[in-house]
Amino acid sequence: MGEQSAKTSAAVLERMKSDRPLVAVELRPPKAGLSQTEGMDVWIDMYHSIRRLASQDTVIFLTDNAVGEAEEENLQHLTTNLAEEVDPAKVVPFLTCKHALDYCLVYAARAASFGFQALTVLGGDRSVGPPRCVEYAYMLRQLIRERVPSLSLGGWVNPHRDPVRQVDFLLAEHFTAEFYLTQIVSHHSIRAVEAFLGEARRRGVAIPGVFGVFLYRSANPETLRRLQPFFPVPAAEITAEFESGLSAEEICARSIRALREVGVDKVYVSNLGFRKPEQRYRRLMEVLG
């Protein structure tokens, strides 16, 4: 992966800053603790999916202990099995603070040595799983910047919260990031997005942002209930859209179109699933036209 990275210096950040709309994807590694056979089956599917997605004009974010569930480490699998097949400029791993500090710093150094150009560093949900190694994610980003200055680092904001405070975070000298991702938003929360964007534009936020959207695969009440602690879920509205005959991809496309209408042209799509997520991505792109 290292040779490829030399040819595509800072391509991830340049893609986020470009004028072209971006529909990136967020994928989850297999859960930790699966049997060897189960884990290998999921990883084989993921290898094929990442190769196919990476051949398109997108960026692939790989989670780290999403929603508090321990996941297999992504770096080792990627570098062992995809080193010659996927440009690392297309892949951005997540790293949460929910690990030992030494592990986090070694992880960042390994990512850079394998040719990855960017890392999204998040705090991680305080309510589940192990404690954070530092109080706030920016503290870990500062330490990584000192140790591994070649990596572009990403932070996190939540447009559902006070926009003034969220923009304060982005403009703080210690934020230590070249881009940011957002909490999941949708066409049902577009007013909150507009308020955040207005504040960011008024105060001159210059770094690019990639806004999260969720592909609801069904209106299963139990699934929607389980998601609620992690981000605002418009359960009644999503249920009504499915009942009206819209597909999962059409509902997701509504969110992306609404974001584009207010000036957001960089999004990442979450919940494409473990099995053949590239097929759902293709259907979504067909719906978007």
Q: What is the pTM of this model?
A: 0.90
Domains and CATH numbers, the chain: 2-288 (3.20.20.220)
What pLDDT is attached to residue 48? 80
Tokens of 273: 């699933």
| Cβ atoms of residues 184 and 270 within 8 Å | yes
194-223: pLDDT as tens digits: 999 999 999 999 999 999 999 999 999 999
Contacts of 226 (CB under 8 A, 6+ apart): none
| Amino acid of residue 246 | L
Report which of 178, 193, 170, 173 is spatially closest to residue 261, judged by C-alpha positions.
Answer: 193
259-275: pLDDT as tens digits: 999 999 999 999 998 77
| Cβ atoms of residues 92 and 61 within 8 Å | yes
| Cβ atoms of residues 118 and 85 within 8 Å | no
| Cβ atoms of residues 138 and 25 within 8 Å | no
| 254 pLDDT more than 60 | yes
What pLDDT is attached to residue 200? 98
What whole-number distance in Å separates Cα of residue 16 and Cα of residue 20? 9
